[in-house]
Amino acid sequence: MKLKRLIQEKSVDALLITNLLNIRYFTGFTGTTGIALVIGENKFFITDFRYVSQAMEEVEKKGFQLICENISPLKKVAELLKQFNVKKLGIENQMVTLEQFKSFENNFSKIEYINLNDIFTKEREVKSEEEISIIKKSIKIAEEALEKTIYRIKIGIKEREVAAELEYQMRKLGASKASFDIIVASNERSALPHGVASEKVIEEGFLTIDFGCFYNGYASDITRTFYVGDNPTKKHLEIYEVVKEANERAIKKVRAGITVHELDSISRDFIKEKGYGDYFGHGLGHGIGLQIHEYPGVSFKAENKVLKEGMVITIEPGIYIPGFGGVRIEDDILVKEDSCEVLTSLKKEFKTLKL
């Protein structure tokens, strides 16, 4: 039904889907080689012999007719377009390389191309009950893995060792892989918003861990900041509490109908009021799903974007002070009609790792 509606909305005869994430979303195919073509009521999935058995199990229950083509999938697409007299073809222009476009021109010379832009990725913004259930499991795996990892952290261990242990635990619990390069940033490196784990040895100070995993194709994304050692200063405590309050204030306002700009401002204005506005430079959050960063972006950059029921977003304010350290606290949130559901369950109170 979604694809039929999109054909009507874009006033095209057919849709060509080449991005593997969008292919997974609409067809259920989890392999790495395939093309989906939708012409009116007809839905075709083209792959080679390596994936025939897998595709039969995955795409046919979604109503796609499986076609095996080992030599030139685009020529098979061209044959189908000619067979159904397609004049206007919607393509994912943002995902097409120059080489692919030249191949399109060679194979579909009489076709008018209609740019779909990000129509498919926007279609993925609102999650189904099944998707939400999978994301919850992904979050649960990530959280349990951190609980198993945190007690192994000690002064003198390297950041990369922590990241490796955390990914190992996530995989052991059922994740396919980490959803991004795990961030383990200690002491002054915690002031780096994307301080991917390094060879640095952990020492006394803030320790930010930003992590998540893919489970059944869907991502989780969580951040917690700890203090390693026995002597946090007043400034450490103050910065942490400001970020925690900014996180909680925004979460309380999440609901369908609020703009992402307004939601971002709730955290940003509070941090600015406390004197740290210059140290919070990124957006408040983003959508998660088949990608770790997907629509909607929750940011001051988007004026009119409105949250919808069923979206899953992150809320992740932070303060980053060069030479001192930084704090980020990130939760995964399900948007509901009049409120939200906090999907993450890890505690957010200031925690010292006295090691």
Please calculate the CA angle 233-238-244 and round it to the nearest 5 degrees: 130
For residue 209, the model assigns a pLDDT of: 98
Q: Which CATH superfamily is domain 2-123 in?
A: Creatinase/prolidase N-terminal domain (3.40.350.10)
Look up residue 257 and give its two tokens. 């109908």
Name the average pLDDT for the chain.
Answer: 95
Q: How confident is the model at residue 95 (pLDDT cuts 50, 70, 90)?
A: confident
Looking at residue 305, what is its pLDDT?
Answer: 94
The CA distance from 80 to 37, in Å, is: 9
Residues 20-44: tens digit of each pLDDT:
999 999 999 999 999 999 999 999 9
Report residue 355's pLDDT band, with 50, 70 and 90 as the boundaries.
low
Treating both helix axes as pointing N-terminal to C-terminal, what angle do 159-172 and 129-150 enclose, rounded to 10 degrees? 130
| Distance separating alpha carbons of residues 208 and 182, to the nearest angstrom | 10
> What does DSSP assign to residue 327?
E
Q: Is the peptide bond prior to 232 cis by the omega test (within 30 degrees of 0)? A: no
Asked whether residue 12 carries a pLDDT value surpassing 70, the answer given is yes
Taking residues 74-103, report their average pLDDT: 87
> pLDDT tens digits for 183-209?
999 999 999 999 999 999 999 999 999
Strands (E), 275-339: 285-287, 294-298, 312-315, 318-321, 325-328, 331-335
CA distance 170 to 328: 21
**In the chain, where does DSSP find H-type helix?**
2-10, 20-27, 52-59, 73-83, 98-107, 119-123, 129-150, 159-172, 234-253, 260-273
pLDDT at 101 over 80: no
Judging by beta carbons within 10 Å of its beta carbon (0-12, 13-18, 19+), is residue 151 exposed, middle or buried?
Answer: exposed
Predicted confidence (pLDDT) per residue in 41-62, tens digit: 999 999 999 999 999 999 999 9
Res 280 pLDDT > 70: yes
- Does position 169 have pLDDT exceeding 80, yes or no? yes
Query: Does residue 103 have a pLDDT over 80?
Result: no
- Distance, C-alpha 34 to centroid of its chain: 22
CA distance 302 to 317: 16
Architecture of domain 129-353: Alpha-Beta Complex (3.90)
Task: Report the pLDDT averaged over residues 112-130.
Answer: 94
- Written as six digits, the tokens of 22 are 């969008």
Q: What number is the average pLDDT over the span 225-234?
A: 95
Share of the chain above pLDDT 90, in %: 88
Residue with tokens 């060509």: 16
Instruction: For residue 218, give both structure tokens.
Output: 């869907």
Cβ-contact 318, 328 below 8 angstroms: yes
180's tokens = 């991004």
How many whole angstroms separate alpha carbon 236 and alpha carbon 287?
Answer: 30
Domain ranges of the chain: 2-123, 129-353
